[in-house]
Chains A and B, each alone.
Chain A
């Protein structure tokens, strides 16, 4: 018998929301506003997910709080949560570790050793995403950090990750985090991008370029240098088939920041037996869902990056939709209100997905969206 590991009895909740980022917070708020009792669990030490690390102003329209910085949006959502505190119970530093199909029970652990089991009526999986890594020699060295981790360190806890950074990847995350590093007083040695153009918004690239940051298109990282920690990096140009060509460039850095994409966190969806499909445009395996974000499992909804990698504005709207879906299935409130909100949220999503980047998302969604689940 282990000395650690306290297991408590079975808890109940009408709705369990797993993940307190933009999608999970929005789902909780929406469900609570329609009269649901919600339990929200989040594995981090603070609510807000990736929002709390975003110093840049958001795009979108007024509905998505365009022009407001990400961390402020998180504060706004948390204020809203405060209004529903009698309906939303929050567990922080709490990881949902398993879904048991036999009885629909979810196991959770607070910290490292306080376990409990919970039996929800409905579940919204808003588990977010995890970062990808590239294979290259020495990629295990301390100093090779995920971009999200770098953001947490510097923007949440005020700790500069290093002195000089090589950013790998020029998607929105790579570009934004480069800019944020400069705001924190850290030098960016350069950004490498395997494609022949930046993957993120052009304006984000323009912001770092005009401050003198080189973006090496069609380049990749060849290896990290260093014995026990990162002491440098070697980058190299690649051809159309991503094969290394041309001469190697050695770059003097103490941090290599990886921003080569995210993949949906979907373990619990697999465990629940949801119908899953691999969708490259959404960056991994995602659950099939209907227009309410309901998965093939009648009691499970999905929202945000867990439903396919997109960005926070869309995640918030998806969370709202899932919240309405859950409330509707529980017979809460009147259905005309549900329809009105859904119509509004779907319009907003369509707007957000109308641009260049949104086209790819829409293609992906076609591969995993059903109109209605058959009974």
Chain B
């Protein structure tokens, strides 16, 4: 078992694979409100990302165990799937946000304390290392079910690494 396998086998995505792909670069650059990134590489019986998608961007599942496939032309970055996904595996990245060094991420969050708008937070990568600071832009609870979707302004160069935040005490 090499280091890459070891990481992946413990729940860390190391490279794109089926069910965990990056959006097409050209479309992504200019898509206002952003596009979703889903990191769900294992076949499991679960489909709320598809059933909750208002635009049909998460394609219908032939088998409920299929990994999600995305029609990026249809994705509006609404983050409904971010709020709904039981695995907290959906993240929206808006590259059109702010100036050219920044981007906006819409991340699922179910911990305490709840982040506050305008405050600075630590941005964590897939193994929980703090790799930058971010600014909380908005805190929403779209489904009124305690899963929060946090909009965070982050360095654009880090959008493929940042996967959650930690409130700075």
Which residues of chain A have a CB within 8 Å of any CB of chain B? 56-62, 66-67, 69, 170, 175, 182-183, 185, 193, 196-198, 201-213, 215, 217-218, 313, 351-358
Contact B11 A209 (CB under 8 A): yes
Contact A358 B47 (CB under 8 A): no
Contact A203 B45 (CB under 8 A): no
Contact B43 A355 (CB under 8 A): yes
Docked Cα-Cα span, A237 to B63, in Å, equals 38
**A-B contact sample (12 more), CB < 8 A, given A66-B47, A66-B48, A217-B6:** A59-B46, A197-B10, A201-B42, A209-B11, A209-B12, A210-B128, A210-B164, A351-B63, A353-B45, A354-B45, A354-B64, A356-B44
Docked Cα-Cα span, A67 to B10, in Å, equals 24
Interface stretch of the complex, out of B85-93, B95-103, B152-160: B85-93
Contact B128 A352 (CB under 8 A): no
Q: Among the interface residues A61, A62, A69, A203, which one has the most CB atoms of the partner chain B within 10 A?
A: A203
Contact B10 A209 (CB under 8 A): yes
Q: Which chain A residues border B85 with CB–CB below 8 Å? A: 57
Top 9 closest pairs, chain A to chain B, by CB:
A212-B128, A205-B11, A203-B87, A197-B9, A57-B86, A355-B65, A59-B46, A215-B10, A202-B42
Contact A212 B46 (CB under 8 A): no
Q: Which DSSP category, helix, strand, loop or mixed, fits chain A's interface?
A: mixed
For B, the interface residue count at a CB cutoff of 8 angstroms equals 44
Contact A62 B51 (CB under 8 A): yes
Interface stretch of the complex, out of B25-33, B71-79, B119-127, B133-141: B119-127
Q: Among the interface residues A182, A197, A218, which one has the most CB atoms of the partner chain B within 10 A?
A: A197
Q: Which residue of chain B is the closest to A63 with respect to CB atoms?
A: B64
Question: Known contacts A206-B39, A211-B124, A212-B124; is A66 also within 8 Å of B65 by CB?
Answer: no
Q: Among the interface residues A198, A201, A213, which one has the most CB atoms of the partner chain B within 10 A?
A: A201
> Could you tell me the distance in whole angstroms from the C-beta of B51 to the nearest C-beta in chain A?
6
Docked Cα-Cα span, A337 to B162, in Å, equals 52
Asked if B41 is at the interface of the complex by the 8 Å CB criterion, the answer is yes
Q: Which DSSP category, helix, strand, loop or mixed, fits chain B's interface?
A: loop
Q: Mind listing 26 A-B residue pairs with CB under 8 Å?
A: A57-B85, A59-B45, A60-B45, A60-B46, A61-B64, A66-B46, A66-B47, A67-B48, A67-B143, A170-B10, A198-B10, A202-B40, A205-B10, A206-B11, A206-B39, A209-B127, A210-B126, A215-B10, A217-B10, A313-B45, A351-B63, A351-B64, A352-B64, A354-B63, A356-B44, A358-B65
Q: Which residue of chain B is the closest to A207 with respect to CB atoms?
A: B88
Docked Cα-Cα span, A63 to B143, in Å, equals 19
> Could you tell me the distance in whole angstroms from the C-beta of A375 to the nearest C-beta in chain B?
36
Docked Cα-Cα span, A169 to B20, in Å, equals 25
> Could you tell me the distance in whole angstroms from the C-beta of A74 to the nearest C-beta in chain B?
15
> Could you tell me the distance in whole angstroms from the C-beta of A16 to the nearest C-beta in chain B?
31
Asked if B21 is at the interface of the complex by the 8 Å CB criterion, the answer is no
Q: Which chain B residues border A203 with CB–CB below 8 Å? A: 11, 39-40, 42, 44, 86-89
Question: Known contacts A61-B45, A183-B112, A209-B10; is A69 also within 8 Å of B128 by CB?
Answer: no
Q: Which chain B residues border A57 with CB–CB below 8 Å? A: 84-86, 145, 147
> Could you tell me the distance in whole angstroms from the C-beta of B137 to the nearest C-beta in chain A?
20
Which residues of chain B have a CB within 8 Å of any CB of chain A? 1, 6, 9-13, 39-48, 51-52, 63-65, 84-89, 110-112, 124-129, 143, 145-147, 163-164, 166
Docked Cα-Cα span, A319 to B128, in Å, equals 40
Docked Cα-Cα span, A196 to B9, in Å, equals 7
Docked Cα-Cα span, A61 to B10, in Å, equals 26
Q: Which chain B residues border A202 with CB–CB below 8 Å? A: 11, 40-42, 44
Question: Known contacts A60-B45, A210-B164; is A201 also within 8 Å of B112 by CB?
Answer: no
Docked Cα-Cα span, A333 to B162, in Å, equals 57
> Could you tell me the distance in whole angstroms from the C-beta of A70 to the nearest C-beta in chain B?
10
Contact A198 B1 (CB under 8 A): no
> Could you tell me the distance in whole angstroms from the C-beta of A206 to the nearest C-beta in chain B?
4
> Could you tell me the distance in whole angstroms from the C-beta of B150 to the nearest C-beta in chain A?
14
Q: Which residue of chain B is the closest to A359 with respect to CB atoms?
A: B43
> Could you tell me the distance in whole angstroms from the C-beta of B19 to the nearest C-beta in chain A?
9
Q: Which chain B residues border A183 with CB–CB below 8 Å? A: 110-112
> Could you tell me the distance in whole angstroms from the C-beta of B69 to the nearest C-beta in chain A?
16
Q: Among the interface residues A57, A59, A182, A356, which one has the most CB atoms of the partner chain B within 10 A?
A: A57
From B45, B88, B112, B127, contact of A212 by CB (8 A): B127
Contact B111 A182 (CB under 8 A): yes
Docked Cα-Cα span, A213 to B111, in Å, equals 14
Contact B112 A185 (CB under 8 A): yes
From A56, A193, A356, contact of B43 by CB (8 A): A356
Docked Cα-Cα span, A74 to B121, in Å, equals 35
Q: Among the interface residues A183, A201, A202, A217, which one has the most CB atoms of the partner chain B within 10 A?
A: A202
